[in-house]
Amino acid sequence: MIVSFDTAAFKDSPIHLVNILSDLSSVGQWSLGSNPDVEEIVCRTPSSALKYCQKVVYAYGLSAKGERVFLKNPGIGIRYLRLVGRSTFTDADTQRRFWRFWRKVTNNAKLAYEWSKSFGQRLPEDNEMIFSENLYFARMYAVKVIRGPFPEKVHHSILLRSFENLDSFTKMHLSEYIKFAEAHGAKNLETTPD
């Protein structure tokens, strides 16, 4: 027996609706798949839409209309795509509009790392320069995505950070990146005068 109820009663509390649907689906009382009435409520914010996917519809994902909510937050959009096991949105227009936010991804080391790790693709070299701003994600990107040192230009930029007054956390990640880069064939960057 499948339970039905008035989802409009949860108009102001989409997370409560997600929790109830999660409980119902876990005991086989709520059918999986796209439900326009539910999506209308839970797809108001990217976080509640992602939570709905994580707890209720799993890899089925949202309808093309529901996926549009991720245009508001590319980081959560990337997590959604990773969850449903796709690298693009269902609707071509949503996908096109999502990539207009590419600057947001490439101007944030965390988002750039998450995108690259999720889809197993490197960023273009010019975009990899963002990692010189966050040495934790620089190290993670080098180890998990490119599995080696950065190209020379980015590598130099990261090494130049050693001349700054860094906190111990950042120093540790810089040191670990340098050790990793040396172990994987990075060239010695010390230059000698001619």
Q: For 177-191, write each residue's pLDDT tens digit.
A: 999 999 987 654 443
Q: Which domain does 150 fall in, by range? A: 109-183
Question: What's the CA gap between 68 and 46, in Å, rounded?
Answer: 9
Question: Considering 41, 66, 100, which residue would you say is the last residue of a domain?
Answer: 100
End-to-end CA separation in angstroms for the chain:
83
pLDDT of res. 174: 95
Q: For 105-159, write each residue's pLDDT tens digit.
A: 788 999 899 888 887 888 888 899 999 999 999 999 999 999 999 999 999 999 9
Question: Considering 57, 83, 100, which residue would you say is the last residue of a domain?
Answer: 100
Query: With helix as H, strand as E and coil as C, how does 11-60 read?
Result: CCCHHHHHHHHHHHHHCCCCCCCCCHHHHHHHCCCHHHHHHHHHHHHHHH
Q: Is residue 86 part of a domain?
A: yes
Q: Degrees (nearest 5) of the Cα angle 80, 83, 89?
A: 50
84 and 132 in a single domain? The answer is no
